[in-house]
Amino acid sequence: MDYLLEGVQQGIGLLFSGDIETWSAIAVSLQASMLSITTALIIGAPAGFVLGYYDFPGRKQLRAVFDTLLALPTVVVGLLVYGFISSRGPLGTMELLFTVSGIVAAQTILILPIVISLTASAIESLDMRLRNTLITLGASRHQIVLTSLNEAKIAVMTAAVTAYGRAISEVGISMMIGGNIKWHTRTITTAIALESGKGNFAMGIALGLVLLAIAFAVNASLIILKRLSK
């Protein structure tokens, strides 16, 4: 038990002393997760709106596919993306393997179903009278989309927070696609796995505390936004 308490003390010391290796992993994680969630929202929010708002052939089947992909294992995504961007893959010339860009691409694929599915659920829960009112007032398609998303903004923000939590905490993709390269693609989760395996509990605990702090900060932001929107 003493070594755990000692690890916590040393971990806090690493954070406040500005340890370069520790903060490098934090920076890579924040960069990759922010780019991933931004890309997923740009693609997923409109796609979720279409899936939840319009009725078209195959809609139920497509919705079932995205709902199933909510539980998509990270290592499966990592394996598929690795096959595409490796030197022998069809996208090998893009040189995305063992780069932050490769991690971002794979994480976007991982969290995109979360954004699409939860946004679709939010749009489906809206009062249908809103659509009829907007059409009666002569609103354009663009205005209908923006107004509907604004009405469902809390649910969309919840989708974003859920997706971000999945991205920042995953380890399989970061390990397979990023390669856990020090100073380059090493993330919080891969650093924790590596350093803990080496017996360096101080850095592992330090990064674990940061991961928890990020989770609390993101959820606190959502709570604040919910209160401000009322």
**pTM for the full model?**
0.88
| Residue appearing with tokens 């989760």 | 189
Q: What is the pLDDT of residue 3?
A: 62
Q: What is the pLDDT of residue 37?
A: 95
Q: What is the pLDDT of residue 117?
A: 94
Q: What is the pLDDT of residue 54?
A: 85
Q: Which domains does the chain have, with CATH numbers?
A: 2-229 (1.10.3720.10)
Query: Comparing C-alpha atoms, which of 78, 22, 20 is closest to residue 192?
Result: 22
Q: What is the pLDDT of residue 77?
A: 94
10-residue stretch averages of pLDDT, the chain, 230 residues long? 69 82 92 96 92 88 91 90 92 92 96 94 80 75 78 85 91 92 92 83 85 87 74
